Amino acid sequence: MVGDNDIRIKVEDLTLIFGKRKKEALKLLNQGYTKTEILKKTKCTVGVNKASFEIKKGEIFVIMGLSGSGKSTLIRCLNRLNDPTDGRVFFKDHDITRDSNKQLLNTRRTEMSMVFQKFGLLPHRTILENAAFGLEIRGEPKEQREEKGRKALKTVGLEGYEEQYPDELSGGMQQRVGLARALANDTDVLLMDEAFSALDPLIKADMQDELLQIQNKLHKTIVFITHDLDEAMKVGDRIAIMKDGVVEQIGTAEEILTDPATEYVEAFVEKVDRKTIITAETLMFDKPTIVNFRKDGPKGAIRKMREAGVDVLPVEDSDEKFLGYVWLEDMLKLEKEKVKSVATALNTKVPSVYKHYTVEDMLPLITGHHYPLAVIDEEEGRLLGLVTQTSLIIESTRFNDKEMDKLIGEANEL
């Protein structure tokens, strides 16, 4: 359960307007005028429009949107590199929008650290000096900050590079320095502004993995900006999708994929590689027809198959543990032989999956046979539901039902 104490950052009605006539524009915005109308009337641009959300302690909260959606502006409101026009930003109980300049410097030094798209390293300083920069600004003594800097560089895998200069490092390594600089400050909030967007795809994937590993150890509260939905889905515990300064939807990757709140989000997520996100839990149909190993003999199994209109059914024993499948063909044979138990025909050598398995994980398991995948409980092996091959194929190919019917039709004609 998430209590109030678990909320690390709380943003309320955050609005940022660029331009000279901010007050007027804000008034119009509150009266319900649109962004374009306001631009026409006041020549002011609404960068962020009444964004509200809560970020829990220890989660990676991704804000994603295309360029111009206001995501980078929004994250800069969290440390007031951009001063919000209206609204509040709370770090726990501390409202940073009310900070005086002096308090603000202190907040930036102690409450949060930031990683930038363009790294923002100091070219005239060594890697170690760069990593310890935040601590230097804070006024920590040299030995102490160098020790922390070394430790942070070790965390990001840059041991041995301390005395080199940023331009001697590759882009990926430079961003590791950027990350080390943020980690060295040891703040529990990390702001990452398109931190991996400037990197090559392979390096990017590496860095994402690394970030997740670090997060497993350190449990920071991370606000992560990206325009890459795949990246958002990979690193994000929860994702906020932004468009034109408005937060359109907030949810987990799967919630957003399976239940997009607006047309924009829907259009957006269409491009996503769903294979890696959709899980067995979403795809399975629960409460399938089940043959009970103890109670149902071949006769019962055949009746159940006829009712369900299938030729294969899962079998479980009396404590609901999944055992395997039985086929109609075998049942008919057993019935003829007057055998009372399905035991001899039970095929136990079948794959089963847990509910967090993704489509990608499941696809290799369906080749070479023709029965649904059983989704079972991780602890007790209880049968939770079945994932049919058809639904898996639909998910992985992204054909909708009509297209599938057409394909099946074509296949039948052949």
Partner 1 sequence: MEKQTNYNMEKILPIGEYIEKGINSLEQNLSFLWRVIDDGISWTVKNMNDLFLAIPVVIILVAIAFIACYVKAGNKMFTKSGLKKGYGLTLFVILGLLLIYAMGYWKEAIQTTTLVLVSTIIALILGIPFGIWSAKSNTADTVIRPILDFMQTMPAFVYLIPAIFFFSVGNTPGVIATVIFSLPPSVRLTNLGIRNVPGDVIEAGRAFGANENQILFKIQLPLAMPTILAGINQVILLALSMVVIASMVGARGLGSIVYQGIQQNDIAKGFESGVGIVILAMILDRITQSIGSKK
In the complex, least distance from residue 140 CB atom to partner 1, rounded to whole angstroms: 12
Give the Cα separation of 68 and 412 in Å (integer).
49
Residues in the chain: 414
Per DSSP, the three-state class of 103 is helix
**Residue among 39, 81, 290, 332 that touches partner 1 (CB under 8 A):** 81
Stretch that binds partner 1, among 14-22, 30-38, 62-70, 103-111 (CB under 8 A): 103-111
Give the Cα separation of 311 and 371 in Å (integer).
9
Does residue number 103 form part of the binding site for partner 1 (CB under 8 A)? no
Asked whether the CA dihedral 189, 193, 195, 196 is positive or negative, the reply is: positive
Q: Contacts with partner 1 in 175-194 (CB under 8 A)?
A: 181, 185, 191
In the complex, least distance from residue 38 CB atom to partner 1, rounded to whole angstroms: 27
**Residue among 47, 74, 89, 119 that touches partner 1 (CB under 8 A):** 119
CA atoms lying within 13 Å on the CB side of residue 265: 22
Does residue number 42 form part of the binding site for partner 1 (CB under 8 A)? no
Does residue number 382 form part of the binding site for partner 1 (CB under 8 A)? no
What pairs with residue 225 in β-bridges? Answer: 63, 193
Query: Which H or E run includes 326?
Result: strand 322-327
**Residue among 91, 116, 224, 268 that touches partner 1 (CB under 8 A):** 116
Stretch that binds partner 1, among 105-113, 249-257, 277-285, 293-301 (CB under 8 A): 105-113
Residue holding tokens 């049919």? 388
Stretch that binds partner 1, among 106-114, 251-259, 357-365, 384-392 (CB under 8 A): 106-114
Strands 112-115 and 189-193: parallel
Return the structure tokens found at 274. 């769903």
Reported in sequence order, the residue ranges of 44-170 that DSSP labels E, i.e. its strands, are: 45-56, 60-64, 86-91, 94-95, 112-115
Q: Residue 66 burial (CB < 10 Å; 0-12/13-18/19+)?
A: middle
In the complex, least distance from residue 116 CB atom to partner 1, rounded to whole angstroms: 6
Q: Residue 177 burial (CB < 10 Å; 0-12/13-18/19+)?
A: buried
In the complex, least distance from residue 134 CB atom to partner 1, rounded to whole angstroms: 4
CA atoms lying within 13 Å on the CB side of residue 299: 6
In the complex, least distance from residue 374 CB atom to partner 1, rounded to whole angstroms: 51
Query: Which H or E run includes 269?
Result: helix 263-269
Does residue number 123 form part of the binding site for partner 1 (CB under 8 A)? yes
User: Going by C-beta distance under 8 Å and a sequence separation of 6 or more, which residues neighbour residue 212?
Assistant: 235
In the complex, least distance from residue 136 CB atom to partner 1, rounded to whole angstroms: 7
Stretch that binds partner 1, among 104-112, 251-259, 383-391, 405-413 (CB under 8 A): 104-112
* CB count in 10 Å sphere of residue 337: 9
Does residue number 118 form part of the binding site for partner 1 (CB under 8 A)? yes
**Residue among 133, 161, 224, 264 that touches partner 1 (CB under 8 A):** 133
In the complex, least distance from residue 102 CB atom to partner 1, rounded to whole angstroms: 9
**Residue among 109, 227, 275, 382 that touches partner 1 (CB under 8 A):** 109
Does residue number 408 form part of the binding site for partner 1 (CB under 8 A)? no
Give the Cα separation of 311 and 307 in Å (integer).
10
**Residue among 121, 277, 323, 392 that touches partner 1 (CB under 8 A):** 121
Does residue number 94 form part of the binding site for partner 1 (CB under 8 A)? no
User: Going by C-beta distance under 8 Å and a sequence separation of 6 or more, which residues neighbour residue 95?
Assistant: 88, 89
Does residue number 18 form part of the binding site for partner 1 (CB under 8 A)? no
Residue holding tokens 């999944």? 322
Q: Contacts with partner 1 in 319-338 (CB under 8 A)?
A: none
Question: For partner 1, which is the closer residue by CB, 186 or 273?
Answer: 186
Stretch that binds partner 1, among 47-55, 120-128, 231-239, 267-275 (CB under 8 A): 120-128
# binding residues, partner 1 (CB under 8 A): 27
Return the structure tokens found at 121. 């390293």
Does residue number 197 form part of the binding site for partner 1 (CB under 8 A)? no
**Chain centroid, CA 48 distance in Å:** 22
**Residue among 2, 83, 137, 267 that touches partner 1 (CB under 8 A):** 137
Binding footprint of partner 1 on the chain (CB under 8 A): 79, 81, 105-110, 113-114, 116-124, 133-134, 136-138, 181, 185, 191
